[in-house]
């Protein structure tokens, strides 16, 4: 299987004051996502899931090991890898209108193509359900709508890989479901590689082809689970599927039992 994005024996150690060895965030993680795969990474909060994603985006170098994009090591943020932040409000440009936010990744293009690209951006906004809000400013929109703007901007960058860093954790439950369905729909249409980091087990199962489970500190890969639920997935029927519930049970128990040895000893 050819891989699109891979972590090859990645270890990340943060320098910690008063410690010679530093703080080990990950130890020897190897994991890959194939083209058009939806991979979810779940782990307890504070396990450094976002760090893993930032290394994938080239925003942070690993201490040991390599991050590979189409077989080539990643040093700086590579084109085609787009990062969707949890803090959408901080990621959007408040001084730009919605359409100009979406235009941002395309502004290096020659001036003659501007009008054509602008039309494209209108279409991206339509795809995320924001037609009519082109000339609004992000701060005039609700949280869910702001994340939709960020998604449209990500689409404009023509992603090969979309990195989703808990992008739905700051919105209300109903909006979260709408955004999940939206991302799924766009992913099915565009077939980019999606890597989602989340602490929400149900979200991971609902969206992903495979779920990688991270254990507690220092973080290592505990298990990779094939979801195998049929697509297209539906917020009601998929979540009621007995297989969904079984996976949820399994993953939740994995995450809750942070130290199985300890539990066994008791």
Partner 1 sequence: MSQRSEVYRTSLLGLLSPAIVLSVWESAGALGWINPILLPRPSQIVWSLVELVADGAVFPPLLYTIALFVVGYAIASILGIAIGVAMATSETLYGLLEPLVEILRPIPKSALVPVLFLFLGIGKTTMITVVVLAAVFPVLISTFQGVRGLDPVLLETARTFQVSRMRTIFSIILPASLPMILAGMRVALGLGLVLVILAEMLAGEDGIGFRILDLQRAFQIREMFAWIFVLVALGGGLMMLFDLIERTLVPWRGKT
Q: Name the β-bridge partners of 7.
A: 31, 67
Identified binder of partner 1 from the candidate list 29, 42, 57, 152, rule CB under 8 A: 57
Identified binder of partner 1 from the candidate list 93, 142, 243, 245, rule CB under 8 A: 93
81 binds partner 1 (CB under 8 A): yes
79 binds partner 1 (CB under 8 A): yes
**CB of 168 closer than 8 Å to CB of 177:** no
* Shortest distance in whole angstroms from residue 193 CB to partner 1: 15
**CB of 225 closer than 8 Å to CB of 205:** no
79/260 with CB nearer partner 1: 79
Give the x-and-dash track for 104-143 against partner 1 (CB under 8 A). Answer: xx-x-----------------------------xxx----
Q: Which of 133, 177, 171 is nearest to 152 (CA)?
A: 133
14/139 with CB nearer partner 1: 139
35 Cβ neighbours under 8 A, 6+ residues apart: 2, 4, 160, 191, 193
Residues, the chain, total? Answer: 266
* Shortest distance in whole angstroms from residue 86 CB to partner 1: 9
Q: Name the β-bridge partners of 68.
A: 6, 73
Instruction: Specify the pairing of strand 193-198 against strand 38-42.
Output: parallel
113 Cβ neighbours under 8 A, 6+ residues apart: none
Residue span binding partner 1 (CB under 8 A) among the ranges 17-25, 74-82, 128-136, 220-228: 74-82
Binding residues for partner 1 (CB under 8 A): 54, 57-59, 76-77, 79, 81-83, 85, 87, 89-91, 93-95, 104-105, 107, 137-139, 157
């Amino acid at each position: 299987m050819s891989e699109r994005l891979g972590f090859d024996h990645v270890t990340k150690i943060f320098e910690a004051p008063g410690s010679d060895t530093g703080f080990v965030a990950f130890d020897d993680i190897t994991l890959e996502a194939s083209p058009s795969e939806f991979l979810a990474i779940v782990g307890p909060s504070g396990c450094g899931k976002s760090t893993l994603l930032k290394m994938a985006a080239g925003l942070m170098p690993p201490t040991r090991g390599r991050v590979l994009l189409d077989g080539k090591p990643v040093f700086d943020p590579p084109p085609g890898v787009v990062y969707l932040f949890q803090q959408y409000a901080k990621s959007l440009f408040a001084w730009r209108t919605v359409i100009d936010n979406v235009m941002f990744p395309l502004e290096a293009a020659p001036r003659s193509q501007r009008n054509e690209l602008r039309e494209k951006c209108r279409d991206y906004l339509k795809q995320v359900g924001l037609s009519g809000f082109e000339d609004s400013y992000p701060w005039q929109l609700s949280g869910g709508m702001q994340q939709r703007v960020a998604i449209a901007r990500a689409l404009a960058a023509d992603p090969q890989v979309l990195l989703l860093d808990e992008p739905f954790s700051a919105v209300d439950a109903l909006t979260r479901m709408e955004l999940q369905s939206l991302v799924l729909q766009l992913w099915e249409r565009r077939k980019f590689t999606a890597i989602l980091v989340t602490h929400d087990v149900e979200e991971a199962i609902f969206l992903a082809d495979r779920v990688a489970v991270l254990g507690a500190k220092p973080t290592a890969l505990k298990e990779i689970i094939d979801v195998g639920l049929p697509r297209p997935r539906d917020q009601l029927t998929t979540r009621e599927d007995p297989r969904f519930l079984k996976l949820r049970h399994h993953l939740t128990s994995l995450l809750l039992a942070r130290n199985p040895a300890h539990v066994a000893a008791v």
